[in-house]
Structure 1
């Protein structure tokens, strides 16, 4: 999808709880080895004690303040998640919108595993492009994995709790959106866990992607990246930084080597040391934590999720 600067990211936020579960603690408990944790360049995982919709609200408040936008100005709220959103949360996006004070917005939810936040971004961008009455859109993600039936370090990749938010407008902002594209390969659906990946049976057996799935991930990333570059009218030389999902060193290195167009592997920025994988929030977390592009610089943001689906976003500095 060619955006050509018509939409900007006016505000971003990453909310993380204060409590963390460190790699050294997991090693002492016998859950993981040093190679499984620090060798993956993940040093700690944040651990939350509040429900995800509230986490999303806290992130959204920060992003709105950063953007100079009020909750009443939000025309569309898109909330994405991976894991249970807490008791009596029939529709998480409406809970987030109500508690935020965005009571007149359209609130929708996307649950697409790890690519949920990126898919929510594309949904919100398309809405702003197509609906002239909409002045601003808000994208949120939130997950709390504390009730997992196994140690969160045993997941592939290890899972951290957190919430993210991005405010999209037609005004000014640190990220100007040039393009966003999504590609998929539904034929790979059966190569992922056939049981719930958050059930105990998934640990050590079905949680890790197969070799065939890894090859499909890489091919999907390459297709999405090439399409995003084409839609933005750029080639790989124009990209100054590449931000991949927070999947740990092994998976990130695989995607960088085999999935990115030639020349971009050396421009990958390592992320996630203090968070691990944030469910559907990795792309939004990278937007919040990594500095925006300088004037005329371009960043390539990559998200991918089981199923499988890949989204690539290209932003430039104002």
Structure 2
């Protein structure tokens, strides 16, 4: 999707103070010692008893404040997450409505895995364009993985480790610190089985007290494709769709790979990050992986947390182009390009 008429005006993040180190995880038997160096992960943020909606509320308040947008200017609240948010049969977006944005707007939960923020932004583009008087939309993401049925250090999600936290971004039709140039989606549904192999579709495992275990599912899927002799074919198609999504985002932004200053990807294991960036044609050093390795894979919040980090540590300047890219179960592929229009005052105050 080609975009020129919308801006990112504010970002807010909630980053827990506690960071559990890889060393402490090994000592507690949560992570095999021989995998620490291979994965490259250094730590994971841990939110303790802080609920995801409470973290999202904090991030949303900061995003609105930083963007100079009041809650009554919002046309939509899009709340995305990866893991469970609170009582079953209840929606976390209503918590933010109750305590922050009010009732006179569309408020929905977007379930699209760790690509949820991308999807929320993409939906917000259409929502804001639909009516001329709609001025702003809020996209939030939040997760706390510290629950009994989740293995933070060994769930098998791209061999990384899951960190807790939240992010929020405000999109406006008015000027902002970054102009959204493009946002694109691709998918390869033949691979949906990779994340459910060996598990029944019903009843859901969580209702029977089964721990989420991608490693076992992926192993079962690996046996299936070996037996069917289609592994190489699927890998080629998988990589091609990822490239196609990236190339489309660059083309619709009217830039080339050489114009990209920094690349933001999901906070995954080092080998997976290098392989993914290699397919896209970027070195690891150009990405935010080093920062991400210290906080963990924060569900759908990785990209906004990393963009916030780049801004508040003085790593971006006006005119810089930033590529945001990722994939999640489905398989869905996402890519977006933003151009930094100004270094916002809220980020400068954090570096002073």
TM above 0.5, one fold? Answer: yes
Task: Give the C-alpha shift of residue 264 in structure 1.
Answer: 6.2
Deviation string 1:282-316 (CA, Å, 9 cap, x unpaired) is: 22222222227422221100121101111111001
Distance 1:214 1:152 in 2: 27
Q: Say whether 1:87 aligns with 2:81.
A: no
Which structure 2 residues correspond to residues 45-56 of structure 1 after superposition, within 5 A? 45-48=44-47, 49-56=49-56
Distance 1:105 1:61 in 2: 17
Structure 1 unaligned segments of length 5 or more: list them: none
Distance 1:80 1:273 in 2: 22
Distance 1:54 1:30 in 2: 30
Matching residue within 164, 168, 171 for 1:168: 171
Distance 2:173 2:212 in 1: 47
Task: Give the C-alpha shift of residue 89 in structure 1.
Answer: 5.9
Give the structure 2 partner of residue 252 of structure 1: 273
Distance 1:130 1:237 in 2: 34
Distance 1:47 1:207 in 2: 26
Task: Give the C-alpha shift of residue 215 in structure 1.
Answer: 5.4
Deviation string 1:188-207 (CA, Å, 9 cap, x unpaired) is: 11122333787426264226
Asked whether the equivalents of residues 151 and 211 of structure 2 are also in contact (C-alpha less than 8 Å), the reply is no
Asked whether the equivalents of residues 293 and 315 of structure 1 are also in contact (C-alpha less than 8 Å), the reply is no
For normalisation by structure 2, the TM-score amounts to: 0.82
Distance 2:325 2:17 in 1: 27
Q: Say whether 1:315 aligns with 2:338.
A: yes
Pick which of 290-299 and 204-213 moved more.
204-213
Matching residue within 205, 208, 214 for 2:216: 205
Q: Say whether 1:279 aligns with 2:294.
A: no
Structure with higher Rg: it is 2
Distance 2:218 2:57 in 1: 30
Distance 1:26 1:57 in 2: 29
Deviation string 1:138-157 (CA, Å, 9 cap, x unpaired) is: 00001111114253101222
Matching residue within 265, 286, 294 for 1:267: 286
Which structure 2 residues correspond to residues 5-84 of structure 1 after superposition, within 5 A? 6-48=5-47, 49-84=49-84
- Residue 296 to residue 197, structure 1, CA distance change in 2 (3 Å): farther
Task: Give the C-alpha shift of residue 38 in structure 1.
Answer: 4.8
Deviation string 1:247-271 (CA, Å, 9 cap, x unpaired) is: 121111110112x0x4566633324
Instruction: Report the structure, 1 or 2, having the larger helix content.
Output: 2
Q: Say whether 1:193 aligns with 2:196.
A: yes
Pick which of 211-220 and 44-53 moved more.
211-220
Distance 1:9 1:35 in 2: 42
Give the structure 2 partner of residue 129 of structure 1: 129
Deviation string 1:64-102 (CA, Å, 9 cap, x unpaired) is: 111111112111010101111112561222222222233
Distance 1:45 1:147 in 2: 15
- Residue 112 to residue 65, structure 1, CA distance change in 2 (3 Å): same
- Residue 151 to residue 266, structure 1, CA distance change in 2 (3 Å): closer
Structure 2 unaligned segments of length 5 or more: list them: 223-230, 342-352
Task: Give the C-alpha shift of residue 33 in structure 1.
Answer: 3.2
Give the structure 2 partner of residue 158 of structure 1: 161
Task: Give the C-alpha shift of residue 61 in structure 1.
Answer: 0.5
Distance 2:155 2:236 in 1: 20
Pick which of 119-128 and 53-62 moved more.
119-128
- Residue 263 to residue 305, structure 1, CA distance change in 2 (3 Å): closer
For normalisation by structure 1, the TM-score amounts to: 0.90
Asked whether the equivalents of residues 7 and 169 of structure 1 are also in contact (C-alpha less than 8 Å), the reply is yes
**Residues matched between the structures, number:** 315
Task: Give the C-alpha shift of residue 179 in structure 1.
Answer: 0.6
